[in-house]
Amino acid sequence: MRPQFSRSVFLRGALGIAVAGVGFAGATRLPTSVATPDTGSSGANAGDLGSASGSSSGSADPKWRELKGKLRGRVVLPGDYGYPGVKEVFNTRFDNEMPEAIVQIADAQDAAATFEFAAENDLLVAARAGGHSYAGMSTATGTLVIDVRRMQGIRAEGGKAVIAPGHTLYDIYHELDRGGLSLPSGMCPGVGIAGLTLGGGLGNESRAHGLTGDRLTAATVVLPDGTITEVSATTRPDLFWALRGGGPHFGVVTSFTFETIPATPKDVVRLTFQGDEAATVIAGWQEWLRSAPREQWADVSIDADGQGGMHCWMQLVCPAGTSETVTAELVDAIGVAPGIVEPRTLSHLEAVLYLAGGTADQPRAAFTNGSDIVAELTPDTIGRILEVVARFSSVGGTGWVQINALDGAIRDLAPDATAFPWRNHAALVEWGAYEPIPHESALAWLADAHATMAPDSVGAYINYLEPGDPLSRYYGSNYPRLAELRSLVDPNNRIRSVLTA
């Protein structure tokens, strides 16, 4: 998810969009006000309100009583006290979904028992950690949700960190920072480590240290048949390959072991350009990346202003004390001077919070998003990206696009070394729109984006998945191997997916 710098900007520009293949000629201008979706009875600690007992008819069902008797954790059913809060995820667009139950597991044995129960009762299962799935993977009506957020614990020793799946990125950053350690992970502090790792994991340390999943060395996984297995490069290497970028398709991970990286202070610079300079900025940024040391990172964001225009800005992150030189080199490569340059020297944790928009607790919001992977950022490709944004802006849209590089340490591994396939490609292009843009308008823009980008796009990023897509869109040449393993591990398709085969 894209970090922002105020609530108004955050809500305007943080996640994904498009328009069904025909551009926006003759489109109706978007309304200036749209009702905010009902957010239910949420709270920061909504997950603590669930009860293993309750007054619902489901609680009296013998099958649920039997499951509860097998668990150290809790089962929360519709009608139970706290169910509305327990079922919530970050995206308020899914507040009306009604999972069959949420099982707040305490350990791997709980997950195994829940999978066995699901098989006996022919229920689809979804895992939930941070609850930030862009497609609402872990809250669908009729699904049995295995919620791992009560599984807590972080232990760092000898350059390794063993992390329970219930932690958010900020939990991990904060705890590891005590020992001067960190992980290369995302910039949204509320995202769960589990989903991020399983999809790959991109962030401002990716050029220097690779994906979050690239740092994974071992895991404990509960498979859909209830088997609990240890996974590493030497134990179940097939699953180890799949867990590093293959998404949530193979089971529930109850423990992660990572190689850590040093937690270091950073210079963080925000650069703002004129909207009509965006093409020059993107091309110059790409040129800068060709020779920039790996410890230097930057992305480019283009925001639609809803009046036919655009805003262009960048975030630059580099070692503390180097921003003056690095900024000059970046601006020289771009060839256009920014209107505003805002440098800051920050400690590791200060940088984490700044890049997250200043807070570890971002407000829930309704959003729609998607992505494209491009092999090159040619002038034509850049032109098509900006065409999509301008078209949405012209009808009142305030969506955005963020472009992240796929270079540096990401390319140290071969495309088939893990399930994440996009290691020889130029960039991840993420499209997004937040409330008050209606979901239907955002979906139309996403369709337009994908249609416009068809000559350039080779796929998409699994952590930004879009319902109805074929799984092959996210895995390129790795898809056959991934699909075969999935059929072996989950032959009955017990794990819920919003993707087609």
Rounded Cα gap, residues 223 and 211, in angstroms: 24
256: tokens are 């992660």
**3 state DSSP class of 35:** coil
Average pLDDT over residues 465-477: 95
439 φ/ψ sector (left φ>0, alpha ψ -120 to 50, else beta)? alpha
pLDDT grade, residue 219 (50/70/90)?
very high
Task: Transcribe 296-349 into DSSP letters.
Answer: -EEEEEEEE-SSS-EEEEEEEEEETT-HHHHHHHHHHHHTS--SEEEEEEE-HH
Nearest CA-CA partner of 388 in 370, 404, 366, 376:
370
Percent of residues in the chain assigned helix, strand, coil, to nearest 5: 35, 25, 45
Predicted confidence at residue 137, as pLDDT, reads 85
Predicted confidence at residue 122, as pLDDT, reads 96
Highest mean pLDDT: which range of 12-21, 31-40, 286-295: 286-295
Predicted confidence at residue 136, as pLDDT, reads 86
Q: In what order do the strands lie in the sheet with 266-273?
A: 340-346, 266-273, 310-319, 297-304, 400-405, 427-434, 367-374, 457-459
With vertex at residue 90, the alpha carbon angle to CA 208 and CA 70, rounded to the nearest 5 degrees, is 100
- Residue 269's alpha-carbon distances to 61, 165, 318, in angstroms, are 57, 32, 9
pLDDT grade, residue 52 (50/70/90)?
very low
pLDDT (tens digit, 9 = 90+) per residue, 66-102? 999 999 999 999 999 999 999 999 999 999 999 999 9
**In this model, does residue 5 exceed pLDDT 80?**
no
Mean pLDDT (the chain, rounded): 89
Average pLDDT over residues 209-235: 98
Of 189 and 420, the structure prediction assigns the larger pLDDT to 420
What's 354's DSSP letter?
H
Residue-range domains of the chain with CATH: 7-34+265-474 (3.40.462.20), 46-147 (3.30.43.10), 154-263+479-489 (3.30.465.10)
pTM: 0.89
Nearest CA-CA partner of 217 in 182, 258, 159, 245:
258
**3 state DSSP class of 454:** coil
pLDDT grade, residue 47 (50/70/90)?
very low
Of 10 and 276, the structure prediction assigns the larger pLDDT to 276
pLDDT (tens digit, 9 = 90+) per residue, 98-128? 999 999 999 999 999 999 999 999 999 999 9
Average pLDDT over residues 133-143: 89
Rounded Cα gap, residues 321 and 332, in angstroms: 19
Predicted confidence at residue 359, as pLDDT, reads 84
**In this model, does residue 440 exceed pLDDT 60?**
yes
Average pLDDT over residues 431-446: 95
pLDDT (tens digit, 9 = 90+) per residue, 248-258? 899 999 999 99
**In this model, does residue 392 exceed pLDDT 80?**
yes
Predicted confidence at residue 191, as pLDDT, reads 94
